Structure 1
Amino acid sequence: MLRGLKTTLCSAAVCALLLVGPAAARQGTEPASAPPVPLLWKVSDADNAVYLLGSFHLLKPSDYPLSPDVDTAFAAADRVVFEIAPEEMGSPALGMQMGQAALRTDGTQLNSELPPETVAALDAWVQENASHLAAMQMNGQVLQMFEPWFVGLMVTIVELTKYGLDPAIGLDTHMAERARTANKPTSGLETGAEQIAFLDGMDPAEQLQFLQESLKSGAEGQEAVEKLHNAWRAGDADTLWREMALEMRDQFPKLYHRINVERNDAWVPKIAAHLEAPGSDDTLVVVGALHLLGEDGVVEKLRERGYEVERICSACATR
């Protein structure tokens, strides 16, 4: 499930699969805890700034309220930019578009291209999670209509929601609602169709491996989810870079380059344009945390362009 988890956390469009319908395991109120330490950077030129906020696309009620640092950045921003524009992210059309892209078109069923042991593992997982699939208007027969990459994502999303993570309260969704309430203009760095193309572009061998690893749930998967979620809450950029980015880059270089590096490279000039625009308007950019981290991340790519970059973390100074 580790690879599916990392891919899910790299793509806001994946969450549209749940945002258009009931979540598989919507949690009740959890005890309040200290605000998460934000993955937040300020990038400046001579007259304005862009704040970069690293998102976790699915969160728990106990992940709120957010840090005052995030509140300050939001208040300073004249506009908020997301991976995908909020109006597209919240549209049922996006989830349907992803499903249509993943539909099998050759008249065969999914099992026809899976090894026997993978068929058995998928059947066992479907039986164990029948109620969660039903909440998403899915079942084993419906899954047979799709490509392996899509079914791998469905497996991962169900496992994430069983842990209590919910896309309806993910950071992107929360910040989009705040922007709407505050009447701040919003936009996207890419379209949902572009995000879907990154996923649908996996070759058959990648897709099979993706599904097989997504089915390896249980204790190891639960521990991985907890480790990454806790690292995000702690603002631990080093652990997230090591556990999410480096492992994916080493084990799945083609997928890593496609869903992370290529997209970061496309985003950087769009983000820089906000800095270089005339006037002193500031911008808040909210994207998956992985996209901001390490030498392949947006933060370092903007630093290399000569902009002043600083991490905003008042909680870090007290540690």
Structure 2
Amino acid sequence: MGLPKSLLLSCIAAVCFGGLAHADSTVRAPTVGTASTQVPLLWKVSDADNAVYLLGSFHLLKPDDYPLSKDIDAAFDDSKTIVFEVEPSTLGTPDTAEKFKLAAGYDDGRTLSDVLPKNTRDRLQKLLSVSGGSVAQMDAVEPWAVTLSLVLGMTQAIGFRQDQGLDAMLMTRAAETQKAVAGLETIDDQIDALDSMPMNEQVSGLDELLANPQETLGELVEMHDWWKRGDVKSLDQKMRVEMAKKTPVSYQLINVKRNDQWVPKIEQRLAQPGQDNTLVVVGAMHLLGDDGVVEKLRAKGYTVERICSACKGRPAN
């Protein structure tokens, strides 16, 4: 995405590629693996009468990451509505793909060759030539979209799949169980956040990836492992703290601004009378640290608890 390595997985959301899986009954999570090995990033935020579960997602997963933790199953079953970053029916449509294509292009007459330093352009050409490609073929695409495309290809080559992502699988489950679904933002909101990143930060992120693709891939695999183990501290350091330091403007656009826009919408669900609970599923980074949705709601006085049956004997905050 032209993003720093710290954000590459936390921001690979379904809206970024129109072809990503969405709520489709043909997509099913394999019943393999051991659910007890997964420690979910799951919190429960409560007021006097109802609750919102906050679940940190990993947008690309492998079939053996399933079945899900029983904590996630319980939160899903206890919720009347499942809320995602974007409402599921708007994903995977030709309109979404066209919006992505337009956002990924230039509106000032420049090209990828124009915005990339020679060293970065040469590295990209070397990488693309392995599969018969060239920079010229991608000249109409901005650096953030080039990086996203490269990372998706790299992760798929080692078994990660978009249609196995946690949010994609829960969209499918919601459709199968006829749960109500909603979104915290629109596709336009999400694409605009990506496309608004400063060009210098887009270029630096792409250059960082090209400097050592294998190192980047190793870090993505490591983040996946931390996510599966529910390691909040390690994920926060790599996903959020590193991004805030390396690309501060992009961090504000991708994380802080959107979190601030989501919190009032989550509060509205808590304010509704009755005991109809909600499960909110968003990229893991959005729930981490002082800028995360969890701490923002805690600061407003709501009761917040980590839901973690596997966390016995160790902190679960």
**TM-score for the superposition, normalised by structure 2:** 0.89
Report what 2:149 is aligned to: 154
Residue 251 of structure 1 aligns with an amino acid whose one-letter code is K
1:266 and 1:81 map into 2 onto residues whose CA distance is 14
Deviations, residues 122-172 of structure 1 (Å, cap 9, x unaligned): 111112245xx8xxxxx7544111122211221222222223211111011
Structure 1 contact 48–282 (Cα < 8 Å) conserved = yes
What displacement does 1:205 show? 1.4
Q: CA RMSD in A?
A: 2.3
User: Across the two proteins, how many residue pairs are aligned to each other?
Assistant: 305
Structure 2 contact 49–275 (Cα < 8 Å) conserved = yes
2:34 and 2:261 map into 1 onto residues whose CA distance is 37
Q: Is structure 2 residue 73 aligned with structure 1 residue 78?
A: no
Q: Is structure 2 residue 169 aligned with structure 1 residue 177?
A: no
* Counterpart pick for 1:208 among 198, 203, 212: 203
Return closer, same or farther for 1:13/1:67 CA change in 2, 3 Å cut-off. closer
Deviations, residues 6-65 of structure 1 (Å, cap 9, x unaligned): 1442252455254179xxxxxxx8973444210000111111110010000111111100
2:276 and 2:31 map into 1 onto residues whose CA distance is 37
Q: Is structure 2 residue 255 aligned with structure 1 residue 260?
A: yes
Report what 1:24 is aligned to: none
1:259 and 1:226 map into 2 onto residues whose CA distance is 22
Structure 1 contact 17–95 (Cα < 8 Å) conserved = yes
Residue 112 of structure 1 aligns with an amino acid whose one-letter code is D
Report what 1:126 is aligned to: 128
Report what 2:33 is aligned to: 32
Q: Percent identity?
A: 46
* Unpaired runs of at least 5, structure 1: 22-28, 134-138
Residue 64 of structure 2 aligns with an amino acid whose one-letter code is S
Report what 1:195 is aligned to: 190
Return closer, same or farther for 1:167/1:5 CA change in 2, 3 Å cut-off. farther
Deviations, residues 249-286 of structure 1 (Å, cap 9, x unaligned): 11111111111011101000100110111111000000
Q: Is structure 2 residue 145 aligned with structure 1 residue 144?
A: no
User: Greater shift after overlay, 114-123 or 178-187?
Assistant: 114-123
Structure 1 contact 10–291 (Cα < 8 Å) conserved = no
* Counterpart pick for 1:67 among 66, 69, 75: 69
> Matched residue of 2:205: which SS?
helix
Q: Is structure 2 residue 306 aligned with structure 1 residue 305?
A: no
Structure 1 contact 57–171 (Cα < 8 Å) conserved = yes
Structure 1 contact 42–52 (Cα < 8 Å) conserved = yes
Return closer, same or farther for 1:154/1:6 CA change in 2, 3 Å cut-off. same
**TM-score for the superposition, normalised by structure 1:** 0.89
Task: Give the helix-richer structure, 1 or 2.
Answer: 1
Report what 2:56 is aligned to: 54
Report what 2:116 is aligned to: 114
